Chains A and B, each alone.
Chain A
């Protein structure tokens, strides 16, 4: 923990107990494990200051763990939102939404991302008239995605299955940044990809990549 004054205030509020208290304790513990910096800590604290009671929903991961999440945060997933609307589920129902394609570790991370981004405006539709950029990843997201490749790809799969555009965009940008500027051999090393071209095929592809002379 880097900021003692913030952590003291946090601890105090968490100790007051109740639903808010346990929620805060969860964030506090999550932040501790992420070794969050002072700025991030204050941000988290300010966000949690706006907590008020909201209806919850239960999400069940593929390995049977249940997560209680407020329904507005869960609805950032178009898949979950559609399920709720199609099934006509009331927000007070004790029903559990099963997510057989997402394990608990990844679901926990997805909920953490969605909670942090709960007040974000809806992501705009892709503008096909503009070049796609990868240099606009926020520092929080960059820290959040400092994970091993396996986890990153699992997050992409989860964001794709759950249809969470913001998370899918930022994870794809992160992978694109891992490819950018690298030679084919460097890309193979980064992602542990086997070169399955025969020597003559590889020669052909390398020839195709030669720069044409200026006309």
Chain B
């Protein structure tokens, strides 16, 4: 009994599913049959994570966009291996895309255009530090995208505006996780709108959004009762607003007491007791 006697569709493709990109390359070089099988695999591949790959063989750069048609998860954060056209082609050909991560990429605005037309099942869209993203792109996503998105990350997307973010959340009531850190455009008004339009929100990250104040957090706490995790590190907010959320069991990354006070408390606890 030989490896290549195993049924291709049921078994060998299943085995290739467990291999890494480097292993695909090596396996396809073994003989003509494995070459064919690896290419067949790309047509049925559901999960593709090339994050942090700075380089990729020419073979994959050309072949993957042409052959991949069944992707549900496509991640190329921190990666420069595909150009805009390749990514557009991949998005265009993969209508079942459920999870897209283009964080820290350097692309053109029009790259997301096929997303709106072709991918009606998207649930997670991660575009952290995509400074190429514009107000127009977010507005198109807001107006034309179905309300399927549960996880969105626009942290560090300095090209977008507060109004476009509000428009987006207004049309995505199923949001569970929203990351908007490092956005200086964000003000208290956005927090109020988020709490009003996202009745299922559980995770919110607004770290280093310097224009958020205690007033915004208080109003957010008033309207949003589903949140479980809040990240506000680097925001000018205090316990006057955060305590409301802490009392409801919300985990907040900002410590309740400043670190110098915690250290002092620790010191007091370890002082030797003296007899009075």
Contacts and interface: CB of A to CB of B under 8 A. Distances in A.
Given A176-B19, A193-B4, A206 B29 contact: yes
B27 interface: yes
B271 interface: no
A134 interface: yes
Nearest to A187: B30
Contact of A134 (B5, B11, B18): B18
Contacts of A179: 15, 19, 23, 26-27
Interface residues of B, number: 44
A194 interface: yes
Interface stretch (A2-10, A66-74, A151-159): A151-159
Given A132-B18, A160-B11, A175-B3, A211 B56 contact: yes
A51 interface: no
Contacts of B35: 205
Interface stretch (B47-55, B175-183, B186-194, B248-256): B47-55
Contact of B55 (A175, A184, A187, A214): A214
Interface residues of A, number: 47
Contacts of B1: 149-150, 153-154, 157
Nearest to B26: A184
22 contacts: A129-B72, A129-B73, A129-B98, A130-B47, A153-B3, A156-B6, A157-B7, A157-B11, A160-B10, A176-B16, A184-B27, A187-B26, A187-B27, A192-B2, A193-B2, A193-B4, A196-B32, A197-B32, A202-B29, A206-B29, A209-B57, A212-B61
- Across the A-B interface, give the 8 residue pairs with the lowest CB-CB distance, nearest first: A176-B18, A208-B59, A184-B29, A128-B46, A153-B1, A150-B1, A191-B3, A128-B72
